[in-house]
A = this chain, B = another copy of it.
């Protein structure tokens, strides 16, 4: 796969149709960055934790029977090496625990400890309220439309990704 490199785009003053997609992408990125860094700030200030840790607990919270590190890696969309490090820290803090997999000798099962579950419940409630607060000025109808259009974008991107690794 080779995205048709537009010959005319080489110079700064070239105004091809592409510019619009670029502006859309930059705005998407700005929105995400603004929300994400505010959430990081608050997680740190209120709970002394970080977004990756929060996301990790969230993944486990949704799977009461536990998850393998590989599954956590896929759900969080991060590398498996990253999961190894995060899991070690969370285990040290007593928020998660490891068990051997019942049938696969290579795998493990990670689960929230009772304390991890309690901690996450507190954090999660606050987190949900923060998001609602930050997006309060987007009317319900606009939110629904935004959600739909983002779904479209997601689909568009995913189609291009799977295309090139068959």
Which residue from B28, B58, B130 sits with its C-beta under 8 Å from A31?
A: B28
Bin chain A's interface residue count.
Answer: 35 or more
Q: Mask for A4-41, Cβ within 8 A of B = 1, else 0?
A: 11100111111101111111110111111111111000
Which chain A residues (26-66) contact chain B, with CB distance < 8 Å?
Answer: 27-38, 58, 61-62, 64
Q: Which of B3, B38, B64 contacts A129 (CB 8 A)?
A: B3
Are A18 and B131 in touch, CB under 8 angstroms? Answer: yes
Query: What's the dominant secondary structure at chain A's contact region?
Result: helix
> Does A157 make an interface contact (CB < 8 A)?
yes
Chain B residue, CB-CB nearest to A135? B21
A152 at the interface (CB under 8 A from B): yes
